[in-house]
Amino acid sequence: MTTYLFPPDFWWGTAVSATQIEGAADRDGKGKNIWDHWYEIEPNRFFNEVGPAKTSQFYDRYKDDIALMKKLGHTSFRFSISWSRLIPAGNGAVNEKAVQFYDQVIDELLAAGITPFVNLFHFDMPMAMQKIGGFENREVAYAFARYAEICFTHFGDRVKTWFTHNEPIVPVEGGYLYEFHYPKVVDFKRAVQVGYHTMLSSALAIERYRRLGQGGKIGIILNLTPSYPRAEENERDVEAAKLADAFFNRSFLDPSVKGTFPQELVAILKQYGLMPHVEEGDKAVISGNTVDLLGVNYYQPRRVKAKETPIGDGPLMPGTFFDSYDMPGKKINPHRGWEIYEKGIYDLLMNIKDHYGNIECFISENGMGVEGEEKFRDEAGVIQDDYRIEFISNHLRWLHKALTEGANVKGYHLWTFMDNWSWTNAYKNRYGFVSVDLEKDGKRTVKKSGWWFKTVIENNGF
């Protein structure tokens, strides 16, 4: 049996986000965010009509949850701060109760020997900010930077690993292209503006972090989808895959790490009248404030083929420029419909090594969402999720190969610690190491994979 050993200081843990686990959405002075609002006006858009107020009660149970993380051997843990909990109006007064809550969470983690990784924005735009346009409005980029600075000032003495955004392309796609996030707009040009201001907000926050001189690191978390052409020998397919890479990966990866936007993407945006409004000085802010480290969320690859029909007069979308390719025989997670391609993690890490200066990085999310996991619960009450163990170990093997070939990859965080509320899918797909029984007041039970991961951490390998 081959053994996969990882470096002694490898970061083992999980990731969560505020809206998905905290609950208490209308308590202790929290302001509304877009999820609270959307659920209020359209509850039927959410699986089983479960809304963001009913998430896994971390707000009330963080002590026990952190104790469980410790028991499972976590060395690090990523959570996000809820902007609308900390600053209910987005750009006004600070909610002291929120400061206390996050203080306690951080202190509890440190006391448990778990390094807190803190992310500032995980899809949860405060409603007051959305009312003035969200990231479509430049002012919101500055409000975000102010919020970030408030976080650094309050928590930066203890938090030394920060992230500005999680998967910044997702609110752009969901909110402004494909209608799976609020405000459900479909408009490519506006989407580009939102993406641009999100990137600007990240650089502005990094600038403020460095100015404070707190001696930690600041990065961004990107969902990278390696793009593979239908046929390597078909030049047009290869071109299409490169374009998909520019749209979906390099659009945020290049400015975050290199401080520049991909030229081929800019050329297309110019050609089709999609360029965002840019102000003088932005270029210097973006190029001068690149990240110290990169979180990579990897779930699935993208299979691409050349456009089969000419680019017509229809509404412009990223998919106007290439077609997706439904590769026969691919392995699929039947619950989420996402392809499982473990080698993708290796390809991403080697790409970062070879083309992004081998910047320090880690796998900040990877995971498998499964519907109806209750049927795998055994008589002792433990969910026998062997499929998740297989999923993780197969990915870790490829991660390990990248490590041995020199990739600067420092850790692996699973999505997620405990079953949580996943946006419009609510509790449909379960991802956690720990099950949460919604019927029994959120009772936590460690799944087989959680105990298995504990041994991986103890042995620093498997």
Residues with a catalytic annotation lie at 365
Largest pairwise CA distance in the chain: 65
Of 170, 180, 91, 97, nearest in space to 129 by CA: 91
- Contact with ligand BG6 (CB under 6 A) among 10, 11, 14, 17: 17
- Contact with ligand BG6 (CB under 6 A) among 161, 164, 166, 225: 166
Binding of ligand BG6 at residue 369 (CB under 6 A)?
Answer: yes
Q: Which residue is nearest to ligand BG6 (CB)?
A: 422
At residue 229, the 3 state secondary structure works out as strand
- Contact with ligand BG6 (CB under 6 A) among 249, 256, 422, 449: 422
Binding of ligand BG6 at residue 147 (CB under 6 A)?
Answer: no
Binding of ligand BG6 at residue 31 (CB under 6 A)?
Answer: no
Of 62, 72, 53, 47, nearest in space to 445 by CA: 72
At residue 83, the 3 state secondary structure works out as helix
Stretch that binds ligand BG6, among 166-174, 225-233, 315-323, 454-462 (CB under 6 A): 166-174
Binding of ligand BG6 at residue 429 (CB under 6 A)?
Answer: yes
Q: Would you say 17 or 56 has its CB closer to ligand BG6?
A: 17
How many Å is the Cα radius of gyration of the chain?
21
Q: Would you say 230 or 413 has its CB closer to ligand BG6?
A: 413
Angle value at C-alpha 200, between 195 and 202, nearest 5 degrees: 95
- Contact with ligand BG6 (CB under 6 A) among 65, 245, 254, 365: 365
What does DSSP say about strands 161-166 and 323-324: parallel, antiparallel, or unpaired?
Answer: unpaired
Binding of ligand BG6 at residue 19 (CB under 6 A)?
Answer: no
Query: How near is the Cβ of 435 to ligand BG6 at its closest, in Å?
Result: 16
Query: How near is the Cβ of 338 to ligand BG6 at its closest, in Å?
Result: 8
> What token pair was written down for 123?
């899809």
Q: Which of residues 114-133 bind ligand BG6 (CB under 6 A)?
A: none
The DSSP secondary structure of 124-181, one letter per residue, reads --BHHHHTTTGGGSHHHHHHHHHHHHHHHHHHTTT--EEEEEESTHHHHHHHHTSSSS
Binding of ligand BG6 at residue 415 (CB under 6 A)?
Answer: yes
Query: How near is the Cβ of 294 to ligand BG6 at its closest, in Å?
Result: 15
Which residues, listed in sequence order, are joined to residue 409 by a DSSP beta bridge? 361
Under a CB-based contact definition with an 8 Å cutoff, are residues 413 and 364 in contact? yes
Q: Where does this chain bind ligand BG6 (CB under 6 A)?
A: 17, 166-167, 170, 223, 297, 336, 365, 369, 415, 422-423, 425, 429
